[in-house]
Chains A and B, each alone.
Chain A
């Protein structure tokens, strides 16, 4: 049986061409990342879809493995429920997810004269599996040394 925890990394882009560094520690109990999804969350208002607003690179296990490179876009219409990209990344306990997000939105000079760059947010969702601890752990199993010492 699977136990899933969705870990969310939220990024805020405040100026054009900004590089946002990512460094977030995952919860200790998750042991495998099985899905990845990232998307624009808030801020951009556009009458059409934007195929690229930024680039994302993600490394796992404290920079030991570069696993994900992605182009982030903006979708105007609400369509299907977004699906996770299936990945299979073993996670070491409590290690960092690191990387960067680079804003690549192109604002034409003409547009700049009357429009101000609007800050926006991007969210990265990691679907992680974890193992539930057994509920019926006997106290003697935990304190084996103490139990052993009590005999003598």
Chain B
């Protein structure tokens, strides 16, 4: 069985300043959430955008946590694009609840647009950063 999986969560933002709640389950075949990456259609939209995250009811990020701290520019090396969790976060069918907040129409973003949140799941129970 594979040891890595990138689970994608797609969030549709329809209007400026919208705040969207989402709930998904992590893949049951993978034990740990190792890292996260958030992808937006335009890097200028990162300014002021925030993502809150709870996994298994445990707060990982506050609702005001900026997406900029979880993502990077295109020129960054692939292995450095993810934000690695320093704590151990159990996957294995865990409930992921989140809230994505659009900051408003600062850069004339085209609505609707899709935000993609990638969870890097691994299967090694001894995983450490």
Q: Main SS of the interface on chain A?
A: strand
Q: Mark A5-24, 1 if CB is under 8 A from B, else 0.
A: 11110100000000000000
Report if A1-B88 is in contact (Cβ < 8 Å); known contacts: A78-B46, A81-B71, A81-B72: yes
B68 with A2: CB separation less than 8 A: no
A78 with B68: CB separation less than 8 A: yes
B residues near A, CB below 8 A? 43, 46-48, 59, 61-62, 64-66, 68-73, 75-76, 80-81, 83, 86-88, 103, 106
A41 with B86: CB separation less than 8 A: no
Question: Which chain A residue shows the least CB distance to B61?
Answer: A6
A42 with B47: CB separation less than 8 A: yes
Q: Which of A38-83 contact B (CB under 8 A)?
A: 39, 41-42, 77-82
User: Within 8 Å CB of B66, what residues of A?
Assistant: 41, 123
B87 with A2: CB separation less than 8 A: yes
User: Within 8 Å CB of A37, what residues of B?
Assistant: 69
What is the interface size of chain A, counting residues whose CB is below 8 A from a CB of the partner?
22
| Minimum C-beta distance from B35 to chain A (A) | 10
User: Within 8 Å CB of A125, what residues of B?
Assistant: 69
Q: Which of A105-152 contact B (CB under 8 A)?
A: 121, 123, 125
User: Within 8 Å CB of A121, what residues of B?
Assistant: 48
| Pairs across A and B, CB under 8 Å, 19 listed | A2-B88, A4-B86, A4-B87, A5-B59, A8-B62, A8-B65, A37-B69, A41-B47, A78-B43, A80-B72, A80-B80, A81-B69, A81-B71, A81-B76, A81-B80, A81-B81, A81-B83, A82-B69, A121-B48
Report if A6-B80 is in contact (Cβ < 8 Å); known contacts: A79-B72, A81-B70: no
Option from A4, A7, A8, A82 in Cβ contact (under 8 Å) with B68: A82
Docked pose: A1 CA to B83 CA in angstroms: 18
| Minimum C-beta distance from B8 to chain A (A) | 19
Question: Which chain B residue shows the least CB distance to A77?
Answer: B73
Docked pose: A126 CA to B76 CA in angstroms: 25
